[in-house]
Amino acid sequence: MTFQYIINHLHEPHLWCIVLTAPHAELNIQKKLEQQGFITYVPTISVRRNWAGCIKEIHIPTIARCVFVYATKEEMQKEYTALSLQTATALYQSQ
Protein backbone atom coordinates (compact mmCIF):
# COMPACT_ATOMS: atom_id res chain seq x y z
CA MET A 1 0.00 0.00 0.00
CA THR A 2 2.81 2.44 0.80
CA PHE A 3 4.57 2.03 -2.53
CA GLN A 4 1.33 2.30 -4.49
CA TYR A 5 0.51 5.55 -2.66
CA ILE A 6 3.91 6.98 -3.60
CA ILE A 7 3.52 5.93 -7.23
CA ASN A 8 0.03 7.46 -7.47
CA HIS A 9 1.15 10.77 -5.94
CA LEU A 10 4.56 11.33 -7.56
CA HIS A 11 3.34 14.45 -9.36
CA GLU A 12 2.50 16.19 -6.05
CA PRO A 13 5.17 17.76 -3.82
CA HIS A 14 5.40 15.88 -0.51
CA LEU A 15 7.09 16.96 2.70
CA TRP A 16 7.96 15.35 6.00
CA CYS A 17 5.69 17.13 8.48
CA ILE A 18 5.39 16.77 12.21
CA VAL A 19 1.97 16.19 13.74
CA LEU A 20 1.72 17.27 17.37
CA THR A 21 -0.18 14.84 19.58
CA ALA A 22 -1.55 14.73 23.09
CA PRO A 23 0.84 13.33 25.70
CA HIS A 24 1.41 9.56 25.26
CA ALA A 25 -0.77 9.41 22.12
CA GLU A 26 1.96 9.11 19.49
CA LEU A 27 1.43 5.43 18.63
CA ASN A 28 -2.36 5.77 18.51
CA ILE A 29 -2.15 8.75 16.16
CA GLN A 30 0.40 6.89 14.03
CA LYS A 31 -1.99 3.95 13.67
CA LYS A 32 -4.89 6.30 12.79
CA LEU A 33 -2.81 8.09 10.15
CA GLU A 34 -1.64 4.82 8.61
CA GLN A 35 -5.24 3.62 8.41
CA GLN A 36 -5.97 6.77 6.42
CA GLY A 37 -3.15 5.89 4.00
CA PHE A 38 -0.37 8.19 5.21
CA ILE A 39 3.26 7.18 5.49
CA THR A 40 4.33 7.76 9.10
CA TYR A 41 7.36 7.37 11.34
CA VAL A 42 7.65 7.42 15.13
CA PRO A 43 11.18 6.76 16.39
CA THR A 44 11.14 4.55 19.49
CA ILE A 45 13.63 3.44 22.10
CA SER A 46 13.63 0.27 24.14
CA VAL A 47 13.66 0.79 27.93
CA ARG A 48 13.30 -1.50 30.92
CA ARG A 49 10.65 -0.68 33.51
CA ASN A 50 10.00 -2.29 36.88
CA TRP A 51 6.39 -2.91 37.92
CA ALA A 52 5.81 -4.68 41.24
CA GLY A 53 9.14 -6.50 41.04
CA CYS A 54 8.64 -7.59 37.41
CA ILE A 55 11.03 -6.08 34.88
CA LYS A 56 9.57 -5.54 31.41
CA GLU A 57 11.10 -4.13 28.27
CA ILE A 58 8.86 -1.63 26.50
CA HIS A 59 9.22 0.66 23.50
CA ILE A 60 8.51 4.35 24.02
CA PRO A 61 8.65 7.24 21.53
CA THR A 62 12.04 8.95 21.42
CA ILE A 63 10.52 12.35 20.62
CA ALA A 64 7.54 13.12 22.84
CA ARG A 65 4.25 14.25 21.28
CA CYS A 66 5.49 14.06 17.64
CA VAL A 67 4.57 11.86 14.68
CA PHE A 68 6.43 12.33 11.41
CA VAL A 69 4.15 12.17 8.36
CA TYR A 70 5.04 12.14 4.66
CA ALA A 71 2.25 14.04 2.91
CA THR A 72 1.30 17.13 0.95
CA LYS A 73 0.49 20.31 2.84
CA GLU A 74 -3.12 20.17 1.66
CA GLU A 75 -3.61 16.64 3.02
CA MET A 76 -2.23 17.56 6.42
CA GLN A 77 -4.09 20.84 6.86
CA LYS A 78 -7.47 19.14 6.49
CA GLU A 79 -7.44 17.55 9.94
CA TYR A 80 -4.12 17.97 11.75
CA THR A 81 -1.86 20.66 13.10
CA ALA A 82 1.38 20.14 11.21
CA LEU A 83 4.73 21.85 11.63
CA SER A 84 7.52 22.03 9.10
CA LEU A 85 10.80 20.49 10.20
CA GLN A 86 12.41 23.93 10.38
CA THR A 87 9.71 25.22 12.75
CA ALA A 88 9.91 22.13 14.95
CA THR A 89 13.69 22.37 15.13
CA ALA A 90 13.46 26.01 16.18
CA LEU A 91 10.91 25.13 18.88
CA TYR A 92 13.03 22.35 20.36
CA GLN A 93 16.23 24.41 20.23
CA SER A 94 14.60 27.27 22.16
CA GLN A 95 13.75 24.99 25.10
Beta bridge partners of 48: 57
State pLDDT tens for residues 31-86.
998 898 888 999 999 999 998 999 999 999 999 999 998 887 777 667 666 666 67
Reply yes or no on whether the pLDDT at 16 is more than 90: no
Instruction: Give the Cα separation of 78 and 68 in Å (integer).
Output: 16
Residues in the chain: 95
Instruction: Give the Cα separation of 51 and 62 in Å (integer).
Output: 21
State pLDDT tens for residues 2-14.
567 666 666 777 7
Threshold 0.85, pTM exceeds:
no
Q: What are phi and psi of 55, to 5 degrees?
A: -90, 125
